Structure 1
């Protein structure tokens, strides 16, 4: 029987020698740089508070980088304004990319960037919580691992920079309770679909690794997923980030023994409530309700999708009669769906969602 490593390498080899989508000289977006190897990784500062429809904090407990808000009641009607040292900003409506673990209620939640924030005011359509976060100013917890020149799911010809959890600074202790119990144990299944998300109210500016740490804390602790909910993330410069922990080897997404046909199996995650097992989740960092992803991010998405469907023997232009191997829940969706094809959500954004048809075609063209 072939090893998992040889299967991954063979599937990646399908992409070898094929032209890179987009002109090689295409300019990349310029979010903050990835952490250099050996640079300090700060501990995340966090404070979670209950909110009864409205909360005003003229001074937060510490300078803010992000706010994580959850609420009951209607999806519409939540809003926030942020105070910096120069004064109060405008009110901004909150919306998010809701997800969750199979078998659990899916709450309405939003995570937003608030760089320079020192206070905030919230209004909610019901009761809720707010978690104040600072992912850049805490005491040093670790040092960053090196950024890879290519992702493990593809060949180096693709050349998409890759940050493992150790490179962007995931605090692995968060995955365990104080008693040492893993919050979301690994559980591996054959891949049936690959779902595309956007991060909605949160983007990668000015520090993508800090944004990854904010999403990680919010989903692991505040939302009680037990880990990062998506398998992979992509920033606006096209860098790829390992999300959900999948094992001790260097490959993201996959783990455990090989599945039917000698194909690798994905680790269960928490990005589409009720339909996670067998469903790989990729999130683009940004809100694509009113704009498109960068060419660099879209190119990385295409290559990741191509590698994953090749590994799974899937048809990128086909549909899948998905069956949740845990609950038995079923749904027929495109093999590469957007989040809104599973649930009532704006994800992956009103402007980008119609583009998924051309993304699927790009994947098929890449695989020949």
Structure 2
């Protein structure tokens, strides 16, 4: 058995054989330690008129849009085609999913929406005044053998503004809650436009969910970019390990911080978001490798069977669903329509899930077990 210290530091010296499909991910471009992290800028435009070109109030990296039937943008190349907004609708427990879309908008000069009562928030995650300095990128600190351990960005490395989690008087918007893990859910972020800077995009997702949608934090516990880099999502506690809280449950298994990635079905459900839109193209090989490693580590740590079906019960609301233990966002709606309809994680990722579960089950058997002491 491995100690909690090994979980915190990572088991980089372990000689664990990996399946060929899980060979080490190619090195990604490192996030520059000491790089400036800008303040995120925003302009709340409120309800905007339908069919009228709108000049943004600030240089854009993103548009957060709710209620639009379609959106088009003008760049230096002219007006682009109308698009139906796509994304991943999250939500807290006790609330319905919120179908607000985050649209990458770097280089957009004007935009136009169709629909009644469309609300827009303009966001820039790159050009604001310097707020802090980024922490260095590391290896995932979750006892994964080095030959398969992905690069990892903590909240401090990708530049999370922790003030978003607090009210103006300094009180937390959300009380941190931790629950026994029952399921692991795969998402895609679902944006239509390509994203040049995934770190700035994660900051955009964070602002959109924590502030615009008032979740109080980013809704996912982990995110993965196209290079296979893993990002810490929802804040759990001050140590270096993502997802898990400061103390285990009665069964001595780690408890996961609650998120806001499946409306009404979050407690005990860990959300992993793959950055990209997988309706027309599948994830990269690097992203899939990291996804399998993450799922295997989480499954082994929480003693979940990757090939099993779970009788999920939300410990907050009592909502129930019979669902695959490693599942996807759209499966929650099939299991319980209260979760809200979605195509997430996309037509090109969803069919890969049976093979992913099998690879995760094989890998989880090779990872060392972990015990968590009752105190730090």
**TM-score of the two chains, using structure 2 as the length reference:** 0.89
Aligned to 2:352: 355
95, 101, 105: which one aligns with 1:114: 105
Deviations 1:139-180 (A, max 9, x none): 000010000033435332323100000001000111111111
CA distance in 1, matches of 2:278, 2:50: 28
Which one is further off, 132-141 or 78-87?
78-87
86, 92, 113: which one aligns with 1:95: 86
317, 342, 355: which one aligns with 1:327: 317
Q: Count how many residue pairs are aligned between Structure 1 and Structure 2.
A: 358
CA contact (8 A) 2:73 2:79 kept: yes
49, 53, 59: which one aligns with 2:55: 59
Aligned to 2:372: none
* Correspondences of 1:157-168 after superposition (within 5 Å): 157-168=147-158
327, 339, 342: which one aligns with 2:329: 339
- Deviation of the 1:296 alpha carbon: 0.2
Q: Where does the alignment leave 5 or more consecutive residues of structure 2 unmatched?
A: 334-340, 366-376
Aligned to 2:291: 301
Deviations 1:237-261 (A, max 9, x none): 0000001000000010001321133
1:184 and 2:181 are equivalent in the alignment:
no
1:241 and 2:244 are equivalent in the alignment:
no
CA contact (8 A) 2:43 2:58 kept: no
Deviations 1:187-217 (A, max 9, x none): 1111111000000016772101100000000
Q: 1:10 to 1:24 in 2, by over 3 A?
A: closer
- Deviation of the 1:16 alpha carbon: 5.0
Deviations 1:95-131 (A, max 9, x none): 221110001232221111111112211113x423111
- Deviation of the 1:91 alpha carbon: 1.3
SS in 2 for 1:186: coil
CA contact (8 A) 1:202 1:285 kept: no
Indicate the RMSD between aligned Cα atoms, in angstroms: 2.4
CA contact (8 A) 2:185 2:269 kept: yes
Which one is further off, 316-325 or 176-185?
176-185
- Deviation of the 1:3 alpha carbon: 6.4
CA distance in 2, matches of 1:14, 1:204: 37
**TM-score of the two chains, using structure 1 as the length reference:** 0.91
Aligned to 2:46: 50
1:105 and 2:127 are equivalent in the alignment:
no
* Correspondences of 1:1-368 after superposition (within 5 Å): 4-5=4-5, 8=7, 17-19=16-18, 21-22=20-21, 24=23, 33-51=29-47, 54=50, 56-71=52-67, 78-124=69-115, 126-152=116-142, 154-201=144-191, 205-343=195-333, 344-368=341-365
CA contact (8 A) 2:258 2:266 kept: yes
CA distance in 2, matches of 1:310, 1:25: 19
Q: 1:150 to 1:107 in 2, by over 3 A?
A: closer
CA contact (8 A) 2:256 2:270 kept: yes
Q: 1:203 to 1:297 in 2, by over 3 A?
A: farther
Q: Where does the alignment leave 5 or more consecutive residues of structure 1 unmatched?
A: 72-76
CA distance in 1, matches of 2:253, 2:363: 20
Q: 1:365 to 1:15 in 2, by over 3 A?
A: farther
Deviations 1:222-243 (A, max 9, x none): 0110000000000000000001
CA contact (8 A) 1:34 1:209 kept: no
